[in-house]
Amino acid sequence: MDQLDVSESFDVHEYRHGLKLLKDDRGTMTLSNRQGFACPACGNEFETLFISEKRTNTFGDPGSPFCLVRTDDQLLVLTH
Ligand SMILES: [Zn+2]
Protein backbone atom coordinates (compact mmCIF):
# COMPACT_ATOMS: atom_id res chain seq x y z
CA MET A 1 0.00 0.00 0.00
CA ASP A 2 1.48 3.35 -1.08
CA GLN A 3 1.66 6.00 1.59
CA LEU A 4 1.30 9.65 0.63
CA ASP A 5 4.63 11.48 0.71
CA VAL A 6 4.28 14.54 2.92
CA SER A 7 7.95 15.08 3.72
CA GLU A 8 7.94 18.57 2.17
CA SER A 9 4.89 19.79 0.31
CA PHE A 10 2.26 17.32 -0.77
CA ASP A 11 2.04 17.14 -4.58
CA VAL A 12 -1.40 15.91 -5.52
CA HIS A 13 -0.33 15.43 -9.15
CA GLU A 14 1.90 12.52 -8.16
CA TYR A 15 -1.20 10.65 -6.99
CA ARG A 16 -3.86 11.82 -9.38
CA HIS A 17 -4.11 8.38 -11.00
CA GLY A 18 -5.57 7.05 -7.77
CA LEU A 19 -7.31 10.09 -6.31
CA LYS A 20 -10.63 11.23 -7.72
CA LEU A 21 -11.28 14.95 -7.48
CA LEU A 22 -14.56 15.62 -5.69
CA LYS A 23 -14.29 19.34 -5.08
CA ASP A 24 -11.87 22.08 -6.02
CA ASP A 25 -12.37 25.43 -4.34
CA ARG A 26 -10.08 28.37 -3.93
CA GLY A 27 -7.20 27.07 -1.84
CA THR A 28 -8.81 23.74 -0.98
CA MET A 29 -9.33 20.42 -2.69
CA THR A 30 -11.26 17.29 -1.74
CA LEU A 31 -10.33 13.95 -3.25
CA SER A 32 -11.52 10.41 -2.86
CA ASN A 33 -9.03 7.56 -2.43
CA ARG A 34 -9.53 5.05 -5.22
CA GLN A 35 -6.21 3.24 -5.04
CA GLY A 36 -6.02 2.27 -1.38
CA PHE A 37 -3.36 4.83 -0.52
CA ALA A 38 -2.29 4.80 3.11
CA CYS A 39 -2.70 7.72 5.49
CA PRO A 40 0.68 9.29 6.33
CA ALA A 41 -0.43 9.79 9.94
CA CYS A 42 -1.80 6.40 10.99
CA GLY A 43 -0.83 4.11 8.10
CA ASN A 44 -4.37 2.89 7.44
CA GLU A 45 -6.23 3.35 4.19
CA PHE A 46 -8.23 6.59 4.14
CA GLU A 47 -11.46 7.42 2.36
CA THR A 48 -11.19 11.08 1.51
CA LEU A 49 -8.38 13.60 1.50
CA PHE A 50 -8.93 17.30 2.06
CA ILE A 51 -6.03 19.59 1.18
CA SER A 52 -5.98 23.20 2.28
CA GLU A 53 -3.54 26.01 1.69
CA LYS A 54 -5.73 28.40 3.66
CA ARG A 55 -4.77 29.70 7.07
CA THR A 56 -8.08 28.80 8.69
CA ASN A 57 -10.59 26.04 7.98
CA THR A 58 -13.96 25.19 9.46
CA PHE A 59 -15.56 21.76 9.36
CA GLY A 60 -18.90 20.31 10.22
CA ASP A 61 -19.21 16.93 11.87
CA PRO A 62 -16.84 14.60 9.98
CA GLY A 63 -18.85 11.63 11.23
CA SER A 64 -15.82 9.34 11.21
CA PRO A 65 -12.28 9.17 12.58
CA PHE A 66 -9.85 11.52 10.86
CA CYS A 67 -6.15 12.34 10.86
CA LEU A 68 -4.39 15.68 10.44
CA VAL A 69 -1.13 16.13 8.59
CA ARG A 70 0.84 19.32 8.24
CA THR A 71 3.22 19.85 5.32
CA ASP A 72 5.40 22.87 4.60
CA ASP A 73 2.46 24.87 3.27
CA GLN A 74 -0.68 22.74 3.51
CA LEU A 75 -3.03 21.17 5.97
CA LEU A 76 -4.23 17.68 5.06
CA VAL A 77 -7.32 16.14 6.64
CA LEU A 78 -7.78 12.44 6.00
CA THR A 79 -11.04 10.79 6.95
CA HIS A 80 -11.34 7.07 7.60
ZN1 LIG B 1 -5.09 8.23 9.39
Distance 27 CA to ligand 1 centre (A): 22
Please say if the pLDDT value at position 1 is more than 80.
no
Query: Reduced to 3 states, what is the DSSP secondary structure of residue 47?
Result: coil
Per-residue pLDDT reduced to its tens digit, 5-16: 999 999 999 999
DSSP 8-state code for residue 15: G
Distance 68 CA to ligand 1 centre (A): 8
Distance 26 CA to ligand 1 centre (A): 25
Distance 34 CA to ligand 1 centre (A): 16
Q: Where are the domains of the chain?
A: 12-79
Distance 15 CA to ligand 1 centre (A): 17
Per-residue pLDDT reduced to its tens digit, 28-60: 999 999 999 999 999 999 999 999 999 999 999
DSSP 8-state code for residue 64: S
CA distance 53 to 28: 6
